[in-house]
Amino acid sequence: MLKDITIGQYYPSESVVHKLDPRLKIILTLVYIVAIFLIRNFWGFLLLAVLSILLCKVSKIPVGFLLKGLKPLAVLMVITALLNLFMTDGKILWQLGFLKITQEGIILSAFMLLRILFLVMGTSFLTYTTTPITLTSGIESLLKPFSKIGVPSHEIAMMMSIALRFIPTLIEETDKIMAAQKARGAALSEGNLIQRAKSLIPILIPLFVSAFRRADELAIAMESRCYHGGDDRTKMKELKYGKRDTIALFVFAICLTGMLMLNLLGASL
Amino acid sequence: MDIITTEKLTFQYEDSHRKVLENFDLTIEKGKFTALLGHNGSGKSSLAKLFNGILLPEGGKVYVSGMDTQNEQLLLDIRKCCGLVFQNPDNQLIASIIEDDVAFAPENLGIPSEEIRQRVDDALKCVGMYEYRMRSPHHLSGGQKQRVAIAGIVAMRPSVIVLDEPTAMLDPKGRKEVVETIQRLNRDYGITAILITHNMDEAALADRIVVIEKGKILLDGTPKEIFSEYEILKATGLDVPQITALSYELHKAGFPIDSCILSVEEFVEQITKVL
C-alpha cells in the first residue's frame, strides 16, 4: 500500500521534456507555482487541464500514472476543501448550528481543491521527467552563485539525491517492519487516534535504527568510492542549455500569458 | 608481484578491548583470486576496511601497491587502486539511476565527462548490466544490484577488488551471478580479486584460500590444500563443500578415491571408476 506513492519518482522515457535542462525546468516549475495562485477563474483551470494533458502526451507519461501520485494527498485535499466550504463567510445557502455553506465557500473550496491538484500534478512533472541526480545537479548549479555567501550547494544537492534514492528503500522497509509487527500481534489500525499514534512507535523505532545503520554503511561505501566533497568533482552528464530549452521557454511564456489573459474573462473571485 | 601487503598489522575498535587483528602478516599476489575465509568476528571485514584506509592500523602497516594507507596524501590513490564492495547492495548505491551510480566514483576522481561515459559503459557491459543502465536500483534483484555495485567499483579502474561477503544477502541465483562476475573480472580483466566469505563453495573457486580465525591466519593454501585439512576446519566450526565432505568420508571408509575433491564433475569421474 505504501508503495503506491509515486511523488518524487522518475518515469523513464526519451521524450523532449525529459531532455530539457533541469535548471530551466526548476525555474519554470517555480514560476508555475506562483502562476497557479494568480488564476482568478475557472477558465484558467480549464486551460491548465488541457495543457497538463498535452504535457502528458509530449512527455509520454500516462495520465493514470500522474493521477496515482495524487492519491496520498486525498485526505489533505478533502480537509482543505471542507474547511473552506464551511468556514467562509458570505451568502448563506444552508445552515446547521455553526456549520454553514455559503456560495463563496463553494467557489473557494473548489478553487483550493483545483489549486492543490494542479500544484501537485504540475510539480510532479518535474520529478517524473527529471532523474533525481539531474534534478539535484540542476539545483546545485542554480545554488552555485550563493555558495560565495556560504550556501553549501554541493552538500545540499548530495543530501537531496541520497534522500530521493532512499525513499523507495525506506518505504519497502516500512512495509516489512509493519508486516513483522503485525505478525507479532501489533494492532496498527485499531483504536482511537492516540492508540494508533502509539502503535506507530514499534514501527518508527526499528525504521530509525535501520536508517542510521544504512547511513553509516553508505558513508563508508561513498568514501570507498573516493568521495571527498564537492571539490574537483566532475560530472558525467554536464548540464547544457540548448535550442530546445529556448523553445520550451517560449512555449511556457505563451501559455502563461494565455492563462493570465483568461483572468480578464469575468473575474469570479 | 604483491599488490597488498600487511606487516605486523594490529587493530582493535575503540570501544572494545579485544584485538580484532594481531601481528597479522599477509601478502596478496597481483592478478590472483584470493578468498578470505572466517567466522563472523574473525576480523575479516575489518581487514577489508584496513585495505583501503577506511580503518587505519593501530600497529603495523598496510601497503597497497606500495602505498602506505596511513599516508593521507595517498588516500584517494589507494582507494582508486583498491575498490571495496560491501554486503548490502542497497546501502552502497547512491544514485537513483544505475548509470549515474556507476559514474559516482569517476566523478569523484575528477575525470572528464566523455571519459566517464566511456568508463561507465565499459563497466556496465563488463558486469552484464548495460541494458539496465537507465533503470532505478529498487527495480532490480539483489544479484543485479550487487553487480551494479561491482560496476561502480570497476569504473574506477582499480587493480584490486575486495568483496566483503557480497553474496550473503542474495538468493542462490544472485550468488551465482555475482560469483561468475567476480571470476570474469579476475580472469578476463586481470583484476586482482579478494573475496571475503564464509561460503565454502565460493571459496573453492579461488586460486588461494586464507582461513582467518580470531585475528590470525589459521590456514593458507590452494583450495585443495585447505579442504584436505578437513579435521582442522571442522574443529573451528567451518564447513567444507558438501562434495569434499562426502569424498573425505568415503576415503576414510576405505574407498579408493581422493579425500579432497572440489567439484561434482571430478567426483563423478572418480566414483564411476570405483563402481
pLDDT of residue A266: 62
Locate the chain A residue with the closest alpha carbon to B101. A133
Locate the chain A residue with the closest alpha carbon to B156. A225
For residue B139, the 8-state DSSP code is G
Residue from A129, A171, A218, A234 to probe the interface with B (highest B Cβ count within 10 Å): A234
pTM of the model: 0.78
Contacting residues of A for B103, CB less than 8 Å apart: 236-237
A151 band by pLDDT with thresholds 50, 70 and 90: confident
Interchain CB distance below 8 Å, B108 and A131: no
B145 is a domain residue:
yes
Instruction: Tell me the per-residue pLDDT of A55-109, one tens digit each, with 9 for 90 and over.
Output: 989 998 888 888 877 888 888 888 988 888 888 777 777 777 777 888 888 888 8
pLDDT of residue A34: 93
B271 is a domain residue:
no
Burial of residue B206 (CB within 10 Å: 0-12, 13-18, 19+) is: buried
Instruction: Tell me the per-residue pLDDT of A185-241, one tens digit each, with 9 for 90 and over.
Output: 877 777 788 888 888 888 999 999 999 999 999 999 999 999 998 888 888 888 888
Q: Which of residues 24-53 of B touch A (CB under 8 A)?
A: 49, 52
Instruction: Name residue B194's beta-bridge partners.
Output: B34, B162
Q: Collect contacts of B220-223 with beta carbons under 8 A, ≥24 apart.
A: B223/B262
The single residue listed with the C-alpha cell 530509525 is A208
Nearest of A162, A164, A136, A147 to residue A239 by alpha carbon = A136
Residue B115 CB neighbours (<10 A) = 12
pLDDT of residue A245: 93
Contacting residues of A for B111, CB less than 8 Å apart: 234
B162 is a domain residue:
yes
Cβ-nearest to A217 among B52, B88, B117? B88
Residue ranges of chain A whose CB lies within 8 Å of a chain B CB: 10, 12, 131-133, 161-162, 164-165, 168-169, 172, 214, 217-218, 220-228, 232-238
pLDDT of residue A86: 84
Q: What is the tally of structural domains in chain B?
A: 1
State the cell numbers at A125: 512533472
A2 band by pLDDT with thresholds 50, 70 and 90: very low
B8 is a domain residue:
yes
Interchain CB distance below 8 Å, B94 and A236: no
CA torsion sign for A67, A72, A73, A75 is positive
DSSP state letters, B6-74: EEEEEE--TT-SS-SEEEEEEEEETT-EEEEEE-TTSSHHHHHHHHTTSS--SEEEEEETTEETT-GGG
B222 is a domain residue:
yes
Q: Which residue has the higher pLDDT, B18 or A269?
A: B18
pLDDT of residue A102: 84
Locate the chain A residue with the closest alpha carbon to B151. A225
Q: Which residues of chain B have pLDDT under 70?
A: none
Longest dimension (CA), chain B: 65
The residue type at B183: Q
Locate the chain B residue with the closest alpha carbon to A212. B91
Instruction: Name residue B208's beta-bridge partners.
Output: B34
pLDDT of residue A268: 53
B261 is a domain residue:
no
State the cell numbers at A265: 474573462
The residue type at B233: L
Question: What is the arithmetic mean of pLDDT over A47-51?
Answer: 90
Interchain CB distance below 8 Å, A217 and B52: no
Q: Does B115 touch chain A (CB under 8 A)?
A: no
Cβ-nearest to B54 among A12, A220, A237? A220
- Structural domain including B199 reads 2-240
Interchain CB distance below 8 Å, B76 and A228: yes
Interchain CB distance below 8 Å, A224 and B52: yes
The CATH code of the domain that includes B75 is 3.40.50.300
Q: Collect contacts of A165-170 with beta carbons under 8 A, ≥24 apart.
A: A165/A132, A165/B93, A165/B94, A165/B95, A165/B96, A165/B137, A166/A211, A166/A214, A167/A8, A167/A9, A168/A3, A168/A9, A168/B136, A168/B138, A169/A214, A169/B90, A169/B138, A170/A207, A170/A211
Locate the chain A residue with the closest alpha carbon to B155. A225
B252 is a domain residue:
no
Cβ-nearest to A131 among B90, B97, B152? B97
pLDDT of residue A4: 46
The single residue listed with the C-alpha cell 474547511 is A83
pLDDT of residue A8: 54
Q: Number of A:B CB contacts under 8 A?
A: 104
**Residue A36: which H helix or E strand, with range?**
helix A22-36
Cβ-nearest to A164 among B96, B106, B109? B96
Return the axis-axis angle of helices A103-129 and A22-36, rounded to nearest 10°: 180
DSSP-derived pairing of the beta strands B59-64 and B2-11: antiparallel
B246 is a domain residue:
no
Please say whether the beta carbons of B227 and B35 come within 8 A: no
Locate the chain A residue with the closest alpha carbon to B117. A236
